[in-house]
Amino acid sequence: AKKRGKNGLAIYEESFSVPLKHRMEMERLLRQALQNGEFELHYQPQINLASAGVEGFEALIRWNSPVLGRVGPDQFIRIAEETQLIVPIGEWVLRTACEFIRDFHESNENKPSISVNVSVVQLYGHRFEDMVREVLAETGVDPHHLELEVTESMVIESLELIGDKLKRLSDSGVNIALDDFGRGFSSLSHLMKLPITTLKIDKSFVDHIPDNRDDNPLTGLVIQLAKQMGIKVVAEGVEKYAQLDYLKKYDCDCIQGYLFSKPLTAAEAKDWNKTTNMP
């Protein structure tokens, strides 16, 4: 069941199960967190299977609250979206992530890209495109080194509205990744309607990869189809060697997961050796 928020966005009913008092308190704490610099980004490497090097990092937000302790994004992004606080938080994420990759490029031979998660609430905002261009200009990051991750559910709900914005950003060089592919209502037809450059196969799909690699060709078929369309494929949540073998066999481009590396602090990611550690 859905309700219409005051901004016209569909908001899922289940989120209102959180008591109002708690939600208002969370909003206050999130506002404070933004002002006091309580957010932090961690960076998870994406490994290119052919070169065994880092092709990119995904920026993942963390909240170190003096009141609540460490809070994961699954516990606060929804409320940040409903209160529109995701707009300034998302801008902070993009700027911080771009500063990180600029610094990384200054001290490294290889030039990995930075992937940033973008919420539908941000994409709806009329300033979104300008904000992205401003941050790129301010930080001096080449648009080709930035990837915006959007989720399937987001795209399904608002294909028309969001498609044009993504297309214009894509035309200026920014990469667009379809995140969490295979979770919920999957549809490969979205790949044709949107300027998708990367397909991120969800962990739930990766989890289905059997120990016997010939048992289940589904994930492999999705990889092959995407690749035939010229789309890069990144497998998420890779934890096992059997999954790695399967993904290699089907020519998956990149893997991201605990098997290779957990999300790292900026300091860890910066002096992280790019060529060793390959499982």
Residues of this chain that bind ligand C2E (CB under 6 A): 44, 60-61, 72-74, 77, 90, 93, 117, 119, 179-180, 203, 236-239, 256-258, 263
Range in contact with Ca ion (rule: CB under 5 A) among 86-94, 171-179, 226-234, 258-266: 171-179
Q: Taking Cα atoms as reference points, which of 178, 181, 88 lies closest to residue 135? A: 88
Tokens of 210: 């059997």
Least distance to ligand C2E, CB of residue 87, Å: 11
Cα(11)–Cα(86) distance, integer angstroms: 14
Cα(155)–Cα(209) distance, integer angstroms: 26
Q: Is 180 in the site for Ca ion (CB under 5 A)?
A: yes
Cα(11)–Cα(170) distance, integer angstroms: 28
Range in contact with Ca ion (rule: CB under 5 A) among 36-44, 146-154, 225-233, 270-278: 146-154
Residue 214's Cβ-count burial label (10 Å; 0-12, 13-18, 19+) is exposed
Rounded to a whole number, what is the distance in angstroms from the first to the last CA of the chain?
A: 44
Q: Which does 61 bind (CB under 5 to 8 A by kind): ligand C2E, Ca ion, none?
A: ligand C2E
Q: Is 117 in the site for Ca ion (CB under 5 A)?
A: yes
Question: Smaller CB distance to ligand C2E: residue 23 or 95?
Answer: 95
Q: Interaction with Ca ion in 181-210: which residues (CB under 5 A)?
A: none
Q: Is 149 in the site for Ca ion (CB under 5 A)?
A: yes
Q: Is 99 in the site for Ca ion (CB under 5 A)?
A: no
Tell me the pairing of strands 39-48 and 2-4.
unpaired
